[in-house]
Amino acid sequence: MTTIEAPRSPKPARTRRRGINGEKWGWIYMRASGLVLVILIFGHLFVNLVSGKGVNAIDFAFVAGKLADPFWVVWDTLLLWLALIHGSNGIRTLINDYTRTPLTRRILLIAVATATAVLLILGTLVIYTFDPCPAGAAANLVPSFCQGR
């Protein structure tokens, strides 16, 4: 007769690993970031699409106004970092589950890590260096609210 071990039975001492359990913290991160993302995403959608004049208010000046406010700078930074790392860690799980050869797995994981790093750097740069009225820009290239500055 074959005996199947209970799923939670302790691993034999030989294979028990020491140190930080990355997969466990990844699992916890998906749940914790998911909870915070519910607030960040629905807050973002409500303020941009529902409150005030709703979607009709969205234009360059609307975005410039939001990024001039430290509250939205912090909100957008959290949204960017938590969602991107959540999404790429989720895709990492799918790649680990479904790739059939170590080479495919390696290539896809490097592609996802590269895309994530590039997007985090570009997104963060946009949030912190965005200037709607760059000094010296031609008047016809900047919005009307920049006149006189």
The residues of the shown chain that bind ligand HEM, judged by CB under 6 A, are 30-31, 34, 37-38, 41, 83, 86-87, 90-91, 93-94
Which residue, 73 or 84, has its beta carbon nearer to ligand HEM?
84
Q: How far apart are CA 63 and CA 109, in angstroms?
A: 33
Question: Least separation, in Å, of the C-beta of 12 and ligand HEM?
Answer: 27
The residue at minimum Cβ distance from ligand HEM is: 90
Q: Whole-number minimum distance, CB 68 to ligand HEM, in Å?
A: 25
Minimum distance between the CB of residue 42 and ligand HEM, rounded to whole angstroms? 8
